[in-house]
Amino acid sequence: MADTLLRRFTELTPALEPTIKPGTLDDLKPLARFHYAAGRPGPVSRILRAIDDGVTIAVLVASMPTLNGRWRAIAWPGEYDSPDKRANARRLNSEVRVISRVIVDPRYRGLGIAVQLVRAYLDDPPTPRTEALAAMAHACPFFERAGMRRVTLPPSKADAKLARILEAHSLTAGDLLHGVPSGLGPALRTWASARKLKGTDIAARAFAALTHPPVALVHDRGAS
């Protein structure tokens, strides 16, 4: 229902057509605080910015790919998982870039700017293949609207193990919203360690991971 209402709202909202030009890290800095992921993205290879009336209102950041991505075996089977890890790394760095940030100033959201930025990048990508991970793809499907295809991933080992433990205790992910269930502290700490997470909001983050896992999106140059 929420997705349907979002699509209707987007369709009824007039799109803004900003100018899109190459950008720099200086364009990213003022908008970085509006992104849900803390910290800087990985090694940056390209930045695009959307400009309206002389003001940068959105940015897209493309970075070098991570060497380990379990979605690639599904998206491009046999391409990057040979026994030669060095050869895999060389090919990845040559053929793939990842859209690591798409940030729109909150005052300009809902106007189709994120879709335009992603399309502009995909129209002239520096590599044959592009990928993205989107923790909020269920609510903001602009990657797919721009032409990328969704890759459905099985749960990670850590997530699957935690889900089994919850089930064994007759609990659901929703119970994590009330804090750490009795007796599950060690299991949640193990889950957080596997995810390399720190902080005091582990139960809430586990809930988000189990109910809305990240979605991988990919694109091949020349694909419609």
Let me know if residue 198 belongs to a domain.
Answer: yes
Residue 37 pLDDT: 61
Residue 15 burial (CB count, 10 A): 13
Flag whether 49 is in a domain: yes
Q: How many domains does the chain have?
A: 2
Given 112, 128, 153, which residue is the final one in a domain?
Answer: 153
Q: Are residues 128 and 171 in the same domain?
A: no
Domain that holds residue 195: 157-211
Among 154, 152, 149, 102, which Cα is nearest to 129's? 149
| 184 backbone dihedrals φ, ψ, rounded to 5° | -100, 5
Confirm whether 221 is domain-assigned.
no
pLDDT of 8 reads 42
- How many helices and strands, by DSSP H and E, does the chain display? 9, 7
CB 154 within 8 A of CB 187: no
**Residues 101, 168 share a domain:** no
Q: Bridge-partner residues for 59, per DSSP?
A: 49, 103
Instruction: Return the SS3 of 106.
Output: helix
Does 51 reside within a domain?
Answer: yes
Task: Judge if 6 and 80 occupy the same domain.
Answer: yes
Is 138 found in the same domain as 31?
Answer: yes
Would you state the structure tokens that stand for residue 113, as one six-digit string?
Answer: 């700017």
Is 26 found in the same domain as 120? yes
Strand 215-220: give its sheet, edge to edge.
19-22, 44-52, 55-63, 96-104, 129-134, 215-220, 149-151
Does residue 102 lie within any of the structural domains? yes
- What is the token pair recorded at 1? 């229902």
* Per-residue model confidence as pLDDT tens digits over 14-37: 568 899 999 999 998 888 887 766
Per DSSP, the three-state class of 139 is: coil
Same domain (yes/no): 44, 95: yes
Per the DSSP assignment, residues forming a β-bridge with 217 are 132, 150
For every one of its 224 residues, what pLDDT tens digit does the chain have, with 9 covering 90 and above? 444 444 443 444 456 889 999 999 999 888 888 776 655 677 999 999 999 999 999 999 999 999 888 899 999 999 999 999 999 999 999 999 999 999 999 999 889 999 999 999 999 999 999 999 886 666 568 999 999 999 988 888 999 999 999 999 999 999 999 888 999 999 999 999 998 887 778 998 899 889 888 789 999 997 76
| Domain end point (choices 108, 130, 153) | 153
